[in-house]
Structures are given as C-alpha cells and as structure tokens.
Amino acid sequence: MELGPHILLALLESAVSTAVLALTAIGLALVFGIMRVVNVAHGEFFMLGAVLAWWITDQLTAFSPAVGFAVALVLSPLLVGAIAYASDRIVINRVDYDPERTIVATVGLLYIFQQISLMTFGPDARPVEPPFNTRLAIPWLEITEQGWAVYWPWGLSITSYKLAVIAISIVLLIGVWLVLSKTRYGLIMRATQQDKDIAQAFGIRIERVYGLVFAAGGALAAMGAVLIVPIQQAHYLMGGDPLLLSFIVVILGGLGSLSGTLVAAAIIGLSNGMIAVFFSPTLAKILATLLVALVLIWRPAGLFTRSSR
Amino acid sequence: MLELSGIAAAYGRVKVLHDVSLSVCEGEVVCVLGRNGAGKTSTMKAIMGLLPLSAGQITVDGTRLDTLPVDHVAKHRVAYTPQGRRLFPELTVRENLEIGLMARGEDSRVLDWVLELFPRLEERMNQLAHTLSGGEQQMAAIGRALCINPRFLLLDEPTEGLQPSIVALIQEVVSTLSKSGVGVLLVEQRIDAVLSIADKVAFIENGYSREVVPAATLKTDRSLLEKYVGV
Ligand SMILES: Nc1ncnc2c1ncn2[C@@H]1O[C@H](COP(=O)(O)OP(=O)(O)OP(=O)(O)O)[C@@H](O)[C@H]1O
Ligand SMILES: [Mg+2]
C-alpha cells in the first residue's frame, strides 16, 4: 500500500480505539472532577463490562449475534453501574472520600474485581461476535495523466462494525454532554463539583450525587468495553491499558475538565494508534507516558486549562 | 425563632466556638459584632451544619437543626450567604439561582420576587458567575439564598468591598425582608450600617457570646463597641 492510503487506514483504526478511550476517560474524569476520587479500579469496571458482555452474549447464543450484542450493550453497563454504586456505598463512602484513603481503597477494589472475574469466568480470553461485520472498501484519489482519478487501493477497508463503534461513542458522548449541561441532574453535579459545602447548604445531597457519579463513571467504562470486545477479546487482566491511557488523558486534559479530556483523548488515542502502526505499541506508550511527565512538570493544571486558574 | 444555645465547635482539634448563644425572631435583624477571628463566620457555618457542634444546640421554632444532615437545613427555610459570596463560579447567574429554587422546590414566583429586589440580575442571567462584578456577585449570592424563600437569612459581611450605592441597596433589601417577616442574622463591619438597620446587636469575643443589646442603645453609648470591636 502507498503511504497516503496507509495513513488513512491507520487513522481510521486509531479512531476506533480513540472513541472507546474517550468514553472510558470521560468516566474517570467525571469521578475525579466531581468526587475528587482517584479511581484506580476504573480499568476493572472496563474489564467487568467486557467480561459481562461476553457472558451475556454467551447466554443468548440461541438468538442472532445482533440481539445478544444489543442486550449486552444495555445490560452490561447497567450491571457495572450497579457494582460501582455498591462500591461507593460500601467502600468509598466509608473512607469519607478522603483523597489518599480512596486511592488505597480503590487499589483494593482493583484486585477484588480481578480475582472475582478470574474465579467466576476463568483465565481464558473470550471473544464476542460482532453484531454485523461487513467489510467496506474505501476509495482513494490519485493523479493520473488524465487528472484526478478514483481507485480502490487493495487493503484499504474498514468494517461496518468499527464505523458503528465510532458513531455510537460519539452519540454517547453527546448524551453525556447533554445530561451535564441541560438537565437538573447535570446542574446538581456541576454545583457539587464547584463547591460541595455550599451545595449542601442549598439542600443538595452530595453523597447521593457521589453514588450516582461513581455508577455513571463505571457504566461509561463498561460501555466502552462492550463496544471493543467484538474487536479485542475479554480477559480478566484487560483493565490495565484502559486505566493507564485514561489517566494519561485525564491528566493532559486538566483534571476534571470534560472538554479538555475529550481533546486529550483524541490526541492520545490517535497518536498512540498511529505510532503503534508505524513504529511500535511500546514506543507509543513510552511517548504518552513521557508527555504526561512533562505536562505534570510544566503545566500541572493540564494542557488546555487557562493558566490563570 | 432561630435559637443557638451554648454552642461549641472546633475545626479538627482547634476549638473556635466555646459558648455562643443568641436568638433571631421573625422579622428581626440581629447583627453579630466581634473582632476578626472572633468566630462570626464559624457561628454561621455551625447554623448551616457545615461545622459540627461539640456542645449546645440550634433550633428553629423548637426543631433541632444541629442533629440533621447538612442538606436538611435549607428545608427548614434557613438560607446562607457566605462571606466572600461563594457563588458557583462556572454556573450562570440563572443556574446559581436555580440551585436556590431547587432546594425547596420553589417556583418562578419566588424568582420574580428576587429579580424585583435585584433588577440588575435580570440583565446578567446568562453570564457566568465568576465574570460578574463584585456588587453583582453579592446580589446574586443574596438572590440565590432568597430563592429558597427563607424565614431566616444568614448574611456574612454582605457589603465587604462594595461601593456605597450597592451597600445602600443591600441595606434596603435587608429592611424590606425584615418587614416581610424574615429574620436576618447579619455579620457586618460597618458600624454605621449596623446601627441603622439592626434591631439587636450581639457581641462575640474569642468564641464566647457577650452582651446582646438593642442597637439603639449603642447610638448613645459606644463603650461596648470600644470594648469588643475597638472603635
Ligand atoms: N477551616 C478552618 N480551619 C481551622 N481554623 C479555622 C478555619 N476557619 C476559621 N478558623 C479559625 O477559627 C477562628 C474563627 O474564625 P472565623 O472565620 O469564624 O472568624 P470571623 O469572626 O468570621 O472573622 P472575620 O471577621 O475575619 O471574618 C479563627 O481563629 C480562624 O483562624
Ligand atoms: Mg468571618
């Protein structure tokens, strides 16, 4: 393949993982921004989402893959949201949302979820069949003696499912934005984020807000995971990468800033994918981690936050 | 009646309120005077439940407030305008006021009433709170508290750093409120302002409440002012 089509292909493939990363990182950013909790177990909510998606589709093999997948896309995030809600009530709330103790507590949750997953579903990587998977060829332009001509480079294609992942993620992200900016719940969350004491003085039950935010954060990670399992298999140790990348994105984006998180997800997701294709995945990760280190030194408030604050 | 009897409270191990008692009746303006660090703001935080008591009690018409969760205080129609305003900075004026309305499920009639008291807010509704001028911020902060349609309003240094015309507007609003039956607990450094709008003055010193006197007596006898505030 020539360089142009090759770059386009790499960009499209990276866009798929970027979309999933954006969903996962937004979940982490919400939890950090509103609750000030650094959730080290966030990647395990991703893992649980993926493993539950496999389990749900496995129960529904009598139906078409599309039905099983659709059920998983709704049910798995709901289940993970419930697990996250319970984690908040049983663990995070009990340590009073103290920044340091919650880190230790969520490290504990990380191992608990991993081991439960291992003991319940086993150590094998589990595939999920995509609901649809048509390969779509993509045209390219080249200059010939007669001028511009369209042609179909061999190997330049993407599956319909991958395009759907991008589209569904965008719809979900727009949904998150609408809830936060246009609804009563969103207003309550933003007020709690900005001044929790005054929010309480105005009757806001912040612990209830925290429970719901933690549930939503887990559910968002699970949604990303359900979308990715038809492409990558579900496995009890799969939570590490999404956790690392989400942290990188949230730090670059400016802790708790949602628009910053989205831009950072785009930068990290796309560059990570491109470097992985053209060089190596390890180099991609090294560079991303290095970038975070530099940002923490030079712009600890994030790449995009106004320097006055 | 809003009543504090013998309250004590601490930030961690640092005890700041030792024994504070005072009361505000409906329609009454009670001003708390004391030096910097005397515990005026802490007293207000204690009423709102933001500073837990180690002794004493706080009641509204006989109902204990101090044993309730923080978020229940607003339901008893006690509203708070904190020192330094503390608007939600990244919310618009409208959204800040909505938070107030939501606290007790008040409707747009209350909002209309608030905008009548502070017409300037009407033009600023869609502006982010942190971009408002100081005077506008104070109006929005008082407006937000009034949106819960309070029976008791706690105002912590509402005129701090504001120009005379806005100070006058706030004083006017306070007297309007008290005429309509709202009890106001006011912390205020401007002695002249205190003497013109307060019914009672409660002195506080190092976390202990001292004399409570009618404001009128201070106009002729300034010895208490000298003793507790140094003016
Ligand atoms: N968050 C806090 N942690 C520890 N100590 C505090 C805290 N807030 C206030 N204090 C201390 O409590 C005491 C009373 O403070 P408070 O703010 O109630 O005083 P104040 O009368 O409102 O003073 P000012 O006139 O300066 O507003 C002070 O000694 C102060 O240093
Ligand atoms: Mg004060």
Domain ranges of chain B: 1-75+190-231
Q: ipTM greater than 0.90, yes or no?
A: yes
Task: Note whether B168 and B95 are within 8 A (CB).
Answer: no
Place of tokens 């999404």: A242
Q: Is B75 on the interface with A (CB under 8 A)?
A: yes
Q: Is B216 on the interface with A (CB under 8 A)?
A: no
Q: Whose CA is nearest to atom 3 of ligand 1?
A: B11
Q: Which CATH architecture is the domain B1-75+190-231 placed in? A: 3-Layer(aba) Sandwich (3.40)
Half-sphere exposure of A170 toward its Cβ, with a 13 Å CA cutoff?
Answer: 8
Looking at the DSSP assignment, which residues form a beta bridge with residue A158?
A136
Task: Note whether B171 and B190 are within 8 A (CB).
Answer: no
> Which ligand has an atom closest to residue B35 CA?
1
The kind and range of the H/E element at A125 are none
Give the integer Cα–Cα distance in Å for B70 and B120: 31
The kind and range of the H/E element at B178 are helix B164-179
Query: What atom in ligand 1 is closest to the CA of residue B207?
Result: 14
Task: Give A202's contacts in chain B (Cβ within 8 Å).
Answer: 74, 99-100, 102-103, 144, 148
Q: What is the 3-state secondary structure (H, E, C) of A91-118?
A: HHHHHCCCHHHHHHHHHHHHHHHHHHHH
Instruction: Please name the residues in contact with A30: beta carbons below 8 A apart, sequence gap of 6 or more.
Output: A176, A189, A213, A216, A217, A220, A258
Give, in degrees to the nearest 5, the angle at Cα A52 between A48 and A58: 155
Backbone angles phi, psi at B188, to 5 degrees: -150, 135
Q: Whose CA is nearest to atom 7 of ligand 1?
A: B11
In the predicted model, what is the mean pLDDT of residues A217-225? 98
Place of tokens 């002695």: B191
- B/e letters for B81-103, b = 16+ CB within 10 Å, e = fewer, are bbeebbbbbebbbebbbbbbbbb
Q: Whose CA is nearest to atom 30 of ligand 1?
A: B37
Give the integer Cα–Cα distance in Å for A221 and B177: 50
Q: Which amino acid is at B76?
A: H
Backbone angles phi, psi at B17, to 5 degrees: -110, 125
pLDDT above 70 (res A307): no
Give the integer Cα–Cα distance in Å for B158 and B145: 12
- pLDDT, tens digit only, all 231 positions of chain B: 999 999 999 999 999 999 999 999 999 999 999 999 999 999 999 999 999 999 999 999 999 999 999 999 999 999 999 999 999 999 999 999 999 999 998 888 999 999 999 999 999 999 999 999 999 999 999 999 999 999 999 999 999 989 999 999 999 999 999 999 999 999 998 888 888 899 999 999 999 999 899 988 888 888 888 888 887
pTM of the model as a whole? 0.92
